């Protein structure tokens, strides 16, 4: 298996070398191992628990240095400490993604002290700091509309704004936004505000992808299906019942999301941009 992956890798490199006209030699660990992220720096937002923590762990396991963002400093430090204990490199980066000046300033601090951000994973979402309470649209008030848009859409823009100029100048970047099936498919159980904000983020990524395609920066979205709530400190409750209807027969894990991020963040995914990858155990097909 490994040798066939290595063969594919060698062919891919040979093809790229032909197109680029670069000398035919292997130059870095990224060019000798598939989906390696050695030498890359990643910022993962909302990575203090749940899906984001899994994404941070997998990016670090592939060699990336990770800035672990969360509103909650203890959570950010806990994820960073777990990565370091496993032999990776990670630093907490505490800020609120909905605070654009705060996000920019934290990114500048990290970039000065550690390394420029090559990979941004916009993961912070759900209902933001106040949590998620499903409600049908007729039961909502405008303050609820604002809250969902703030974290799931404007938070994505704020973090993207903080890193994208540097990525374009350096001619490499990966912007990955964690969205949801709710941003793609209509549902009747009180998630219209959330779905609207996620749909906005998906659309934003598509346009960003077109604007930065010639600068070596890709922008993609991962639409997650139903995830196991326990890594986020929530009860399994009725989610276990819903899992029976997922074609592969189980809820999603933080590692499922992390593996998709590793792929989209890799050098090998350079030709994939403006896409929405459905990671959902087959709950919907495309």
The footprint of ligand NAD (CB under 6 A) covers 45-46, 48-52, 69-72, 75, 96-98, 123-126, 128-129, 151, 155, 178, 180, 224, 226-227, 232
Using DSSP's 3-state secondary structure scheme, residue 267 falls into helix
Closest to ligand NAD by CB, 69 or 220 = 69
Q: Taking the C-alpha atoms of 203, 208, 209 and 211 in order, what is their torsion angle to the nearest 10 degrees? A: 130
Classify strands 65-70 and 119-122 as parallel, antiparallel or unpaired: unpaired
CB of 239 to ligand NAD, least distance (A): 8
Task: Check 154, 172, 194, 263 and give the catalytic one.
Answer: 194
CB of 109 to ligand NAD, least distance (A): 16
Closest to ligand NAD by CB, 36 or 176 = 176
Mark whether 91 is an active-site residue. no
CB of 198 to ligand NAD, least distance (A): 7
Closest listed residue to residue 65, CA positions, set 43, 47, 49: 43
Closest to ligand NAD by CB, 207 or 230 = 230
CB of 176 to ligand NAD, least distance (A): 11
Closest listed residue to residue 118, CA positions, set 40, 177, 230: 40
Closest to ligand NAD by CB, 36 or 47 = 47
How far is the CA of 91 from the CAs of 4, 71, 124, in angstroms? 35, 14, 17
How far is the CA of 26 from the CAs of 13, 15, 50, 203, in angstroms? 9, 13, 37, 37
Catalytic residues: 194
């Amino acid at each position: 298996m490994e040798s066939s992956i290595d063969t594919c890798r060698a062919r891919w490199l040979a093809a790229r070398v032909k197109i680029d006209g670069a000398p035919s030699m292997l130059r870095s660990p990224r060019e000798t191992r598939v989906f390696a992220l050695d030498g890359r720096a990643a910022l993962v937002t909302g990575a203090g628990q749940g899906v984001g923590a899994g994404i941070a762990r997998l990016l670090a396991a592939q060699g990336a240095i990770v800035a672990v963002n969360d509103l909650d400093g203890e959570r950010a430090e806990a994820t960073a400490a777990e990565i370091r204990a496993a032999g990776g490199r990670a630093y907490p980066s505490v800020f609120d993604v909905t605070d654009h000046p705060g996000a920019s300033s934290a990114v500048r601090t990290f970039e000065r002290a550690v390394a420029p951000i090559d990979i941004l994973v916009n993961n912070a979402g759900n209902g933001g700091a106040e949590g998620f309470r499903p409600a049908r649209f007729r039961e909502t008030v405008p303050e609820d509309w604002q809250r969902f848009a703030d974290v799931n859409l404007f938070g994505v823009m704020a973090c993207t704004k903080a890193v994208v100029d540097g990525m374009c100048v350096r001619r490499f970047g990966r912007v990955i936004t964690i969205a949801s099936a709710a941003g793609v498919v209509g549902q009747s159980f009180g998630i219209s505000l959330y779905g609207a904000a996620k749909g906005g983020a998906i659309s934003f990524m598509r346009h960003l992808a077109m604007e930065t395609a010639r600068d070596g920066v890709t922008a993609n979205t991962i639409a997650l299906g139903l995830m196991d709530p326990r890594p986020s400190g929530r009860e399994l409750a009725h989610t276990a019942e819903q899992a029976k209807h997922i074609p592969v027969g189980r809820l999603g894990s933080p590692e499922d999301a992390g593996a998709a991020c590793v792929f989209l963040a890799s050098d090998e995914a350079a030709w994939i941009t403006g896409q929405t990858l459905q990671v959902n155990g087959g709950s919907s097909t495309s």
